[in-house]
Amino acid sequence: MRRFQLWLICLALIAAACPARAEVRLNVVASFSILGDFVKNVGGDRVSVTTLVGPNGDVHVYTPAPSDAKKVAEAKLVIINGLGLEGWLPRLVQSSGSKAVIVTATEGIAPLKIGSDADPHAWQSVANARIYVTNIRDALVSADPATAGIYRTNAETYLAKLDALDRDVREAIAQIPKARHKVISTHNAFGYFAAAYGIDFIAPLGVSTESEPSARDIAGIITQIRSLKIPAVFLENISDPRLIRRIAAETGARVGGTLYSDSLTDEKGEAPTYIELVRHNIKALTGALID
């Protein structure tokens, strides 16, 4: 009997510690920082977001840590990009024994192809970012229907910001003379940006950062820069800057600064959110391409 009373007291204490079920946050894992930012914007303080590949990390070549398996095991939802970006993820999910729902944020986006591979960098078009956000909203709503109203309102607010962002990108690109709509970046991450906004990107690395360019690839790029009179080359936060600096030195093209492709920066950096990432890239492009 006494044990039963003790048990009742324990239950009462637990109930006092969490007075309403609604205060339990939905546990969400995002594979990389840009997705984590989308989830934060839609989930607000009702979700607890953990990002596997953090700021300035390279999601193409990530090696999961043992702590990642624990994060995935505890998650209700795992948000991934898909389109072949997170090749390391299926094994992680399997080894973690996670029961989480895996949500592919690019669902419904028509992928661009590079050779026979899908180009995974769909978030570089703001119109696609809208699709990511609506997919994330729908996933949060079905995982936690009691909070649906809040997720929908948050998503609507954020989507309006993305609409404004898309307009600003178009206005900024329109200021760049057509003959100067071409740049060099490190890896082939801007195909969707190019298709949406009409800036040509030439990249010595392939669609993944995994590949190393050969001496012949680099010589080809240098010839291209000279013959097309490409005005600027850009660094990326996830790639070694030496290759781009060397290409700049050999061709006389201007180093236009850093473009953020696959990763946000930390809070102190130039691109701690997706919206700041896009705004930074636009500023870097217009700064280098408008005389």
Positions that interact with Zn ion (CB under 5 A)? 189, 262
Of 77 and 189, nearer to Zn ion (C-beta) is 189
Give DSSP secondary structure letters for 62-79: ----HHHHHHHHH-SEEE
CB of 208 to Zn ion, least distance (A): 6
- Cβ distance to Zn ion smaller for residue 96 or 237: 237
By beta-carbon proximity to Zn ion, the closer residue of 141 and 243 is 243
Q: Are 185 and 201 in contact (CB under 8 A)?
A: yes
Rounded least distance, CB 255 to Zn ion, Å:
20
Q: Which residues contact 41 (CB under 8 A, 6 or more apart)?
A: 133, 154, 155, 158
Sign of the alpha-carbon dihedral angle for 186, 189, 193, 199 = positive
Contact (CB, 8 A) for 253 and 234: no
CB nearer to Zn ion: give 129 or 155: 129
The pair of three-digit structure tokens given for residue 143, joined into one six-digit string: 């995982």
Q: Least distance from C-beta 191 to Zn ion, angstroms?
A: 10
Q: Minimum distance between the CB of residue 187 and Zn ion, rounded to whole angstroms?
A: 5
Q: Tell me which H or E stretch contains 26.
A: strand 26-32
Report the alpha-carbon distance of residue 72 to residue 64 in Å, rounded: 11
Question: Minimal distance in Å, beta carbon 239 to Zn ion?
Answer: 9
Q: Nearer to Zn ion by C-beta: 84 or 272?
A: 84
